[in-house]
Amino acid sequence: MRVRIFAGGTPAAVAEQINDWFEKEAGSAHIAKTETVVGPAVDRYGPYPCVVITIWYEPESDCKPAARGLDALADPHAPTPLFAVRS
């Protein structure tokens, strides 16, 4: 899992960053989760509005079973099997 954070003073600025990232870097990434925070930020000139969008993703190469071996085919949410041991 990888994380990418985008920030800017306007929603349009952040959208431009994200679109550029999708076009040039992310490709066919699997987006697992996003989070948006809007609030004030402060720099040497004083407070200003800030939009921050965080994206958790898996790159396309990490999503292919061949890239990770047979472990990628297993269901990560499946319960762990229990084994009885006789002595």
Give whole-number Cα distances, 20 to 6, 15, 16, 31, 51, in Å.
Answer: 11, 8, 6, 16, 17
Predicted local distance difference test score (pLDDT) of residue 54:
92
Global pTM reads: 0.61
Residues 56 and 31 sit within 8 Å (Cβ to Cβ) = yes
For the ranges 43-47, 68-72, 77-81, the one whose mean pLDDT is highest = 43-47
Give the domains, in start order, of the chain with CATH numbers: 2-70 (3.30.1660)
